[in-house]
Amino acid sequence: MWRKFSRLFVIKTKFEAFLVIYGLAMGATERGAHYVQQYHGSVGGWMLFAACPVAVFMAGARILDSVERSDWS
């Protein structure tokens, strides 16, 4: 039973990978917007805002790379 449950959290296709990356990107931009509001008028808020999507780019590249290498067919 646990094996079937854990299979729900395995990314098998590129479409699923893009959906996960989209969700991460939406959360990162929301967090970045909070940084800009919290540190308004400073460069630090915008730097933190820029760091959030960069982390998603790095994670997205890793996710897509792992989906391409695996043999799910």
pLDDT digits (tens, 9 = 90+) for 3-47: 888 888 888 899 999 999 999 999 999 999 999 999 988 999 999
Q: Which two tokens stand for residue 25?
A: 């990107």
Sign of the C-alpha dihedral computed for residues 24, 26, 19 and 2 taken in this order: positive
pLDDT by residue (tens digit) across 47-65?
Answer: 999 999 999 999 999 999 9
Q: Does residue 8 sit in helix, strand or coil?
A: coil
The amino acid at residue 63 is I
pTM, rounded to two decimals: 0.80
CB 11 within 8 A of CB 67: yes
